[in-house]
Structure 1
Amino acid sequence: MLDLGCGTGFWLPRYAAHAREVIGVEPDVDLLQRARSRTPEARVLHGSAEHIPLGDASVDVVQARFTYFFPTPGNDCSAGLSELMRVLRPGGTLVVIDNDQVNGDFADLLAVSSAAEPQGYEDYVPDWWSAQGAHTAAVMST
């Protein structure tokens, strides 16, 4: 399992409890040591969505939580998605978790912020994922 954009590695021990092998990839060099010290069962590498330091078809599951390549008008993110698909085994699973831009507290904050326009409009992100052949599902949490 690959945790792409693993940050401080918070989720790595939880994934390691269930996966045969866990790899974290993080672009921020300041977070690498924290992620590496989180659990000895995970391997943490420096890299990014566009440059994943793993071989072709080398992981079964990729998880990206609030991370790297969420599409916005002017940021297509196709390079990151292509690289991710390179390392994902055929039949593997990609799980991307992002903030809801339509419902909930984040959407309310986004609507009144100067960051709203670059984030796109309410249909932009789901339409982008659909054009990539992805299935999306809304999961509301607290």
Structure 2
Amino acid sequence: MNNISPINYDVIAQKYDARYAQDPLAGVSRELHTLVSNSQARDVLEVGCGTGHWVIELLPLVQRIVGLDFSFGMLEQAHAQNNKLLLTNGDANHLPFPSASFDLVLSLNALQHYTDQRAFIAEARRLLRVGGALAIVNLDPHIGRDRWYLYDYFDGVKAADLRRFPSSGTLLDWMLAAGFVRAEWRVADHIHQEFVGEEVLDNPFTQKGGSSQLALLSDTAYAAGMDRIRAAIADAPDAPPVFVTDQWLTLLVGWNS
């Protein structure tokens, strides 16, 4: 049976920002502020901007920032938060901008959604001016040190992530092949959360639309995973299980010169 279904981000857009209320990703924020400052970026593009969380944060720091997303629902949520944002609907593999029109291109927890990830890297370099940079923040499940209760209780989620997320080494190879002259890799953020017993049921990431990992599951597969979680809680009323999220978000920056 196929447990995977397409994600309709137009449907889940209204609740998407709940993730940032729980964890604002302060480490990613620091890295982005430092990158904008060090690169002296004036014109910035975020590809896969979603509801505009990072576009809004970086807006005061640059001359121009544009958010692009494939989902009209996500863009509507971004516009509702700030109607002065520069937003456009588009495909990450066919970016609708002239060559050499940005100093910095960002892909923040979005690369796994692109149809052709390697082609995106080449397309991003096309948009960069001399001295510009492409910054990618993402999970790297290939490193093998992440712990996540979603992997434990929902069948197929970890295997799907290993297919969807390229390794940092693969991304580095693609960057160099696309013509980036140097690259930097580092950990951008460490997420550690523990949910005791029924606390996990209120975690936004446990909801069907709270993460792409669960949004991809069929309703049947999602329900089966929730049944496993509830059974684990019911089986240990005196010592409820602890559901752990321990993840490392990586940052890879490729420089155009």
1:57 CA displacement:
1.0
CA distance in 2, matches of 1:137, 1:85: 20
The answer to whether the 8 A contact 2:137-2:188 is kept is: no
Which is helix-richer, 1 or 2?
2
Name the stretch that deviates more: 28-37 or 54-63: 28-37
Unaligned residue ranges in structure 1 (runs of 5+): none
What residue number does 1:126 align with? 168
Taking structure 2 as the reference length, the TM-score comes to 0.47
Name the stretch that deviates more: 61-70 or 90-99: 61-70
Report whether the alignment pairs 1:9 with 2:52: yes
What residue number does 1:82 align with? 122
**Equivalent in 156, 162, 165 of residue 114 of structure 1:** 156
CA distance in 1, matches of 2:117, 2:170: 10
Aligned residues: 136
The CA RMSD measured in Å over matched residues stands at 2.5
The answer to whether the 8 A contact 2:49-2:68 is kept is: yes
The one-letter amino acid paired with 1:92 is G
The answer to whether the 8 A contact 2:59-2:65 is kept is: yes
Could you tell me the percent identity over the aligned residues? 22
Q: Tell me: CA distance 1:69–1:63, structure 2 relative to 1, closer, same or farther (3 Å).
A: same
Report whether the alignment pairs 1:92 with 2:135: no
Q: Which has the higher contact order (CA 8 A, sep 6+)?
A: 2
CA distance in 1, matches of 2:98, 2:125: 11
1:114 CA displacement:
0.8
CA distance in 2, matches of 1:83, 1:28: 20
User: Any idea what the Cα deviations from partners look like across 1:69-100, whole Å, max 9, x if unmatched?
Assistant: 479xxx76222112111112222111111124
SS class of match (2:139): coil
Which is strand-richer, 1 or 2?
2
| Runs of 4+ residues over 4 Å off in structure 1 | none
CA distance in 2, matches of 1:61, 1:39: 22
Greater C-alpha radius of gyration:
2
User: Any idea what the Cα deviations from partners look like across 1:95-130, whole Å, max 9, x if unmatched?
Assistant: 111124233344x64476413234338xx6022022
The answer to whether the 8 A contact 2:140-2:168 is kept is: no
Unaligned residue ranges in structure 2 (runs of 5+): 1-43, 177-182, 192-257
